[in-house]
Structure 1
Amino acid sequence: MKYFEYNLGSIFQSLDMSYSNGLTDANDTDLTVFQRYFFAQAKEKLNVDAVYFLRDAEGIPKIPMIYFSAMDSYNSERIAELHRMAWNMGEAPLLFIVLPDELLVYNNYTPPAPRKEDGSYNNDAGMFARIKKVSDLEEQRQQLLQFHRSQIETGEFWKQNQTRFNIDTRVDVTLMANLRAIRKLLLKSIEKRDVEKQIDDQLRCEIVHGLLGRSILIKYLEERTDSTGKTVFPNDFFGKFLHGAKKYTDVLADKQSTYTLFAELEERFNGDMFPLIENEKDVITQSDLTELQQFLLGTSELASQQMVIWPLYSFNAIPIQLISSIYELFFHLAETDPDKEKGTYYTPYHLVSMLMDEVLPWDGPYTPQKILDPACGSGIFLVEAYRRLVAKWIFTNQPESIGPNDLINIMKACIFGVDSNKEAIRIASFSLSLAMCDFLEPRTIWDSLQFPRLLHYNLFHNDFFDRDCEFEQRDYDIVIGNPPWESRLSPAAKKYIKNDKLKVSDEQIAQAFTWRAGDICPKGVICFLLPSKGFLFNRSVKAQQFRTAFFEKYDVSVIINFSAFRWVLFEHAAGPAVGVIYRVSNLDKSDTIFYCTPKPLYTIEDKRRFLIEPTNICRIPRELIYDDLIWRIAMWGGPRDMDLVHTLQASGTPLRKLLDENDMVYAEGYKKGNKKKTCDAFLGMPMLNAKTFSPGKHFPDALPKMTERKFECTVDTKRQIFQSPHLIIKQSHKGSRFLADVLSFDAVFNHSFLGVHGDERLLKYFCSIISSKVFVYYQIMTNRKWLVERDESEVGDIIDTPFPMPTTAAVDEAVNLFDRVIVGNGDLSIIDQFAYRQYKLLPYEISLIDDAIDYVYDYYSKKGNSSALSQPDNALLQKYSVSLQEVMQNTLGNHYSFSCCIYHGDAPLIIAVLDLSPTSNPKFSLNRNSEEMDVLLHKLDRQLLEDRSGSVFVKRNVRVYNKDSIYIVKPNQSRYWNFSAACRDADEIYADVIRAWRGENE
């Protein structure tokens, strides 16, 4: 064995990484399609010796985490170059360089540094750790403990090192920022010269995008090298166009030479890769090309000298899917106001990958499949589909290398896209052609490849709702994409909906896409990313009609609700998203729908993957899918919450009905809006402010007076809401409460408030219920927008909330409580107790309410700083144990008794061990011995791996059944060890026992 192989082996042993748990190297023969594909790429581009992959819950290696490279001596230049290339390739966030006497760990989110003035390399850039190697294996293991497999798989490493990994310096983010800057400059330069406004905004964008897209492609071709150092272009290629030119940036010094180069490449490669935009050569000036040249050389003055890192990019290593995202960025950026171009507009790759896994997984033999994206944009879904198909073809056929003809045949036979935007189609063609290049040796690209013409053959500039189009003349196996989210139907879509008598709410064109996809994919599978508001949560009549018709026509197998990731996925998200996988229904629909609601960890992992816990998964019985509340309740709660919501509904009457029956007037306040309406009636009246609204502390003389005269809406028919006595309900929350007050004086307020005018005593009763935890809980579990899309409730959700019937005694008590607690600034728990009595809630139901507010609401509002993510204390663990034992005893009968020992320390996981107890009294104990816990965790991990059930560290949330013991392993976070978690665990253990019993007795 070579010395460096021994060196690597000892590191792998210390990290507990092996072929069976995600490690991959050249000697591993049992690889998945993705492992084989990715390792080949990493070997070619970085020359690494091994890659460690994070596995999913099923044990399939999915996400590259660590690159390993062994060197027999310290070489500053080689180490710096390896880190530069690893940063460019992105993917794995860590690079381990193993030397004979030390281990260097680099952070691949940190960019490399330019060379020093003396030409030497700065190897400190990206350095994460420098660890001296020792011969003692246990001592070595202790030194590497923070990188141990268990720390990586559980996510504890990322939690502990959150501040050391900066997303903003990752290759994709910096590259996008750089391209935004040069795009903005070129657009403004052209606009400034166009004094007569002869070039419209769209053409100007197309020209700039064409020039930049072409330049990225040329840089990619120029920097692609093989093992001998040969590039795509022959020697002295650029000198043909400009004397002495050695590279593309040299040619940019002369406009005529530049466009001669473009023309030759267009002729050479055929296809749609290099076509010039109309009037481009007349519009682009030498100054534009000079600015582009300086940008590519890193000498531009743009964006506070940010461009100095441009020479550090290597298009030989940058992933092809990132380049596709660049083109998607061009497509989505605002066309008319470059100053407003901020935020993330491209579809994150891990979102594309997750959806593609549902319909075209990496593994499995290659079979030709026709795949259509009906709103293809830049082609990011099509590029990912093509990569997978080619990788499967290579895996199936095992050739020495794949040739241009095979790549073209796969493309022509399998990949199809439609878009109503002409530029989108052109950009998609760019992206797909680049994807083809990624599988070829550089010189093969030049000597043998002619890109296929995709426009009009595979990519179609059409409205998806047009009839008798070329793209309709095929039977598709997969339709996948992200349709537009606009509430505006195209003329063709309107005609289609009308002629086919289809249901669509709020003119949501994405809903129209779901119907049309079923028409052209009658035997295949469809996967769309849709707005979750319209698909799941909107309860308007038309939205309900759409859902009913959709579920009746289609066999929906999977719904992935990404709503909780709204601000994580997109900085300027238009709305929360949902992934839907369905087929045209046959006679036998599946009994349940797999409903998944992933939640962010609020660590850097959220930018790379969706961690799906068992608590984020449920199977919705088909008979429940027409219940509009099921999707919301299953997002934040469980079956017991569903029961409690139904209990609240059964024990109360919608507030709307109570208001109507008591002749009360209710409406939102005025709206300034466009200020087209004049109203003097409000002048001089006390005015409430949403930011300073504080129940019990409003006095007319202390409030500011209305001075505005111009409004959009003045509530003409319901002005009584501004007259006393009136209940004022703030529609947004504060802390963990909704705020309400009853005023005995006239006052005005805007549409952030709901006002109710009526009997003062009843208003105080309603105010008391609204101020309670019960009201908050009901909103958490049922509200259409709060905790999904907005931080405020809508009027409909407030007045649809069930309220207990206001008896005389209840109203008397509420009036007293209002004066004592709300006006008197007393303890709100007294209000809570009043509400619990009115709803006749049982102790366990009150505990469910407490948990929803203390953990679900707190998690949503405080995110990574939530107490839900903190370690549980002893009291919480004991309450969990007692609750678990009580629920199980109630379920299984008094003749069963359990003792519970909880292993708890600083480790990322906690273990609860349930043993059948010979005594009738449940016992609880707490074990804080870290060594014993570590031994037990690894014992369970080995057992699961041997059973091919995945890793305990990856799954993080598992139950293992032995003869008389049940092991419950969950993350070391409070949200997994509260009362609600105990109920869920007990219910699921009971279900497991019943399933096992039925299996033994069938």
Structure 2
Amino acid sequence: REILDFISVRGLFQKGDADTKVIVVVAEARSAPPKREILHATFRRSGRTDAEQGFDIDYYDMHWLPRKLALENDGVWRSDLLGGGRVLGFVDRMKKFRTLGQFANERKWDCGEGFIFGNPAVSRPARHVIGKRRVDASAFHNGKVDLSRSTTVPNRKILRPRKPSIYTAPLLMIHKHLDIPHGYLPEGYMTYQHEIFGISAAAQDDGSRLLRLAKWLDSSRDSLLAYIAASSVAGFVSKATAILSDDIKRLPYPVDENLNLSPHEEILAADIVDYYRKLIRLGEDSDAMKKPGVPALLVFNDVFTARINAVYKKNKLRALAPQAWSGVVCQPYIFGKGDVDWNGAEELKDKLNNLLKEKKGNINITRIARLYDGNTGIYLLKPDRLRYWLRSVALRDADETLADLIEQGF
């Protein structure tokens, strides 16, 4: 019936000095009705959770999933952490492209993560590593390698030295991190540890093609970062920002080097990179929860009305001047001409707070409200934090508003 997802809540069992990731499955000992949807609730980190006083959740953290989707597409759980809905469609489309790993195999390049230090009881010969130059991710700047930050590998036991070919330039080194910082080394020999995934084109003398790939990673950065955040097996789970070598190998790399993002996908990617990644890790300490939403209303309204007016083209929806109270914003819209009379609006303050906030036991619930004034007006009532007024949220609001209007026969 329900999946209660606490992946974003770090240190849930602080007394045990662990950062165990927790989900709670709510089920019944009987067959589920075929049309019953599954609730996936993604709880966020907050001061109350850190103080072990309870949990906070809001409307956009609750995702009702068709059973067929939940059973057939395991990417939905990850996508819901980053807003759900359209994010899954973005990920599924990216997965149709050729991957970076497939391309590396086509070019017969040598790939692999770097060496791992061992102990006296378990080690392997590593003359091609010990005493050689080594870099870490701090040496990667603007796609290049700052050799002044290289050091020498000490004479220590090496558990997994890897093969020499992956350290031989032309070499592209990619940090296994959600930001995928990387550096291209045109010549020489450079070792690195297992936090870095390396691609060498030395055996095929294919440096120009490897450099082209490195430049493409830069030019497509935001799209790739959004894809990794929404698809990585390890990101946000094992460590807050670490990813796996397989995540890098699964990066989309189209034959024509064009991911061809739609305007809506560009909005999703930008919000994932700029806001959702930190919202998952930091919760109420993230920019999305600390910054006010009123300055974002102009672009929010542009996205919201454009989506609605793509369907209702004759009598177009217009955004009117918003009304803000402490902690609450009401954004009105109208089809055609008209305005809103805000006389007596201040008297609504306490009523609106009660409408949007609810406490059930140890859970604080934040609602949003969509009010429809006949066939002419729409009112969005939401908290005043930026998280509720992002452009990607405007897309979700518009999708749900269209569904409401169609159901009402408008």
Superposed pair shares fold, TM > 0.5 = yes
Note if 1:565 corresponds to 2:9. yes
Deviations 1:169-220 (CA, angstroms, capped at 9, x unpaired): xxxxxxxxxxxxxxxxxxxxxxxxxxxxxxxxxxxxxxxxxxxxxxxxxxxx
Which residue of 163, 180, 186 corresponds with 1:738? 180
How many Å separate the matches in 1 of 2:32 and 2:279? 42
Deviations 1:7-37 (CA, angstroms, capped at 9, x unpaired): xxxxxxxxxxxxxxxxxxxxxxxxxxxxxxx
Alpha carbons 1:731, 1:792 under 8 Å: kept: yes
How many Å separate the matches in 2 of 1:910 and 1:889? 23
Deviations 1:507-558 (CA, angstroms, capped at 9, x unpaired): xxxxxxxxxxxxxxxxxxxxxxxxxxxxxxxxxxxxxxxxxxxxxxxxxx11
Alpha carbons 1:680, 1:709 under 8 Å: kept: no
Note if 1:781 corresponds to 2:246. no
Note if 1:804 corresponds to 2:250. no
Once the two structures are TM-superposed, the CA of residue 687 in structure 1 deviates from its matched residue by: 0.6
Once the two structures are TM-superposed, the CA of residue 655 in structure 1 deviates from its matched residue by: 1.5
Once the two structures are TM-superposed, the CA of residue 884 in structure 1 deviates from its matched residue by: 1.2
- Match in the other structure for 1:910: 329
After TM superposition, the structure 1 = structure 2 runs for residues 402-551 of structure 1, keeping only pairs within 5 Å, are none
Deviations 1:798-846 (CA, angstroms, capped at 9, x unpaired): 11121111x5xx6xxxxxxxxxxxxxxxxxxxxxxxxxxx211222321
Alpha carbons 1:598, 1:611 under 8 Å: kept: yes
Alpha carbons 2:166, 2:198 under 8 Å: kept: yes
Which residue of 216, 231, 243 corresponds with 1:793? 243
- Match in the other structure for 1:710: 157
Note if 1:762 corresponds to 2:209. yes
Output the amino acid matched with 2:184: V
How many Å separate the matches in 1 of 2:83 and 2:36? 22
How many Å separate the matches in 2 of 1:607 and 1:748? 44
How many Å separate the matches in 1 of 2:64 and 2:47? 26
How many Å separate the matches in 1 of 2:209 and 2:85? 34
Note if 1:882 corresponds to 2:302. yes
Output the amino acid matched with 1:711: I
Alpha carbons 1:899, 1:916 under 8 Å: kept: no
Question: Per the alignment, do residues 599 and 864 of structure 1 end up closer, same or farther by CA in structure 2, a change over 3 Å counting?
Answer: closer
Note if 1:858 corresponds to 2:278. yes
Question: Per the alignment, do residues 944 and 854 of structure 1 end up closer, same or farther by CA in structure 2, a change over 3 Å counting?
Answer: closer
Which residue of 989, 994, 999 corresponds with 2:401? 989
Note if 1:935 corresponds to 2:347. yes
Question: Per the alignment, do residues 660 and 944 of structure 1 end up closer, same or farther by CA in structure 2, a change over 3 Å counting?
Answer: closer
Q: Which TM-score applies when normalising by structure 2?
A: 0.85
Which residue of 664, 669, 674 corresponds with 2:119? 674
- Match in the other structure for 1:980: 392
Question: Per the alignment, do residues 586 and 874 of structure 1 end up closer, same or farther by CA in structure 2, a change over 3 Å counting?
Answer: closer
For the residue of structure 1 that corresponds to 2:303, the secondary structure is helix
Alpha carbons 1:670, 1:750 under 8 Å: kept: yes
- Match in the other structure for 2:85: 639
* Identity level (%): 21
Note if 1:579 corresponds to 2:24. yes
Q: How many residues align?
A: 393
For the residue of structure 2 that corresponds to 1:644, the secondary structure is helix
Output the amino acid matched with 1:627: N
Deviations 1:340-377 (CA, angstroms, capped at 9, x unpaired): xxxxxxxxxxxxxxxxxxxxxxxxxxxxxxxxxxxxxx
Once the two structures are TM-superposed, the CA of residue 752 in structure 1 deviates from its matched residue by: 0.5
How many Å separate the matches in 2 of 1:714 and 1:991? 57
Once the two structures are TM-superposed, the CA of residue 877 in structure 1 deviates from its matched residue by: 1.1
How many Å separate the matches in 1 of 2:172 and 2:356? 58
Alpha carbons 2:284, 2:290 under 8 Å: kept: no
Q: Which TM-score applies when normalising by structure 1?
A: 0.37
Question: Per the alignment, do residues 590 and 696 of structure 1 end up closer, same or farther by CA in structure 2, a change over 3 Å counting?
Answer: closer
Once the two structures are TM-superposed, the CA of residue 603 in structure 1 deviates from its matched residue by: 4.9
Alpha carbons 1:575, 1:789 under 8 Å: kept: no
How many Å separate the matches in 2 of 1:943 and 1:778? 36
For the residue of structure 2 that corresponds to 1:565, the secondary structure is coil
Note if 1:629 corresponds to 2:72. no
Output the amino acid matched with 1:856: Y
Once the two structures are TM-superposed, the CA of residue 987 in structure 1 deviates from its matched residue by: 1.0
Deviations 1:98-153 (CA, angstroms, capped at 9, x unpaired): xxxxxxxxxxxxxxxxxxxxxxxxxxxxxxxxxxxxxxxxxxxxxxxxxxxxxxxx
Question: Per the alignment, do residues 900 and 645 of structure 1 end up closer, same or farther by CA in structure 2, a change over 3 Å counting?
Answer: farther
Once the two structures are TM-superposed, the CA of residue 719 in structure 1 deviates from its matched residue by: 2.5
Question: Per the alignment, do residues 606 and 840 of structure 1 end up closer, same or farther by CA in structure 2, a change over 3 Å counting?
Answer: farther
Deviations 1:424-449 (CA, angstroms, capped at 9, x unpaired): xxxxxxxxxxxxxxxxxxxxxxxxxx
How many Å separate the matches in 1 of 2:207 and 2:245? 21
How many Å separate the matches in 2 of 1:603 and 1:933? 31
Note if 1:698 corresponds to 2:110. no
Output the amino acid matched with 2:85: P
The structure with more strand, counted as a fraction of residues: 2
- Match in the other structure for 2:312: 892
Output the amino acid matched with 1:558: E
Output the amino acid matched with 1:995: E
How many Å separate the matches in 1 of 2:25 and 2:282? 29
Once the two structures are TM-superposed, the CA of residue 680 in structure 1 deviates from its matched residue by: 2.0
Question: Per the alignment, do residues 886 and 700 of structure 1 end up closer, same or farther by CA in structure 2, a change over 3 Å counting?
Answer: closer
For the residue of structure 2 that corresponds to 1:911, the secondary structure is strand
Alpha carbons 1:687, 1:749 under 8 Å: kept: yes
After TM superposition, the structure 1 = structure 2 runs for residues 82-231 of structure 1, keeping only pairs within 5 Å, are none
For the residue of structure 2 that corresponds to 1:612, the secondary structure is strand
5+ long unaligned stretches in structure 2: none
5+ long unaligned stretches in structure 1: 1-556, 811-837
Output the amino acid matched with 1:899: A
Question: Per the alignment, do residues 962 and 944 of structure 1 end up closer, same or farther by CA in structure 2, a change over 3 Å counting?
Answer: farther
How many Å separate the matches in 2 of 1:780 and 1:614? 22
Which residue of 953, 957, 964 corresponds with 2:368? 957
Deviations 1:607-647 (CA, angstroms, capped at 9, x unpaired): 32222211111111122122121110012122121222223
Deviations 1:976-1001 (CA, angstroms, capped at 9, x unpaired): 11111111111111222233449xxx
Question: Per the alignment, do residues 881 and 679 of structure 1 end up closer, same or farther by CA in structure 2, a change over 3 Å counting?
Answer: same
How many Å separate the matches in 2 of 1:706 and 1:871? 45
How many Å separate the matches in 1 of 2:149 and 2:21? 41
- Match in the other structure for 1:591: 36
- Match in the other structure for 1:607: 52
For the residue of structure 1 that corresponds to 2:152, the secondary structure is coil
How many Å separate the matches in 2 of 1:954 and 1:621? 23
For the residue of structure 2 that corresponds to 1:960, the secondary structure is strand
How many Å separate the matches in 2 of 1:627 and 1:586? 21
The structure with more helix, counted as a fraction of residues: 1
- Match in the other structure for 1:654: 99
How many Å separate the matches in 2 of 1:695 and 1:732? 16
Alpha carbons 1:769, 1:775 under 8 Å: kept: no
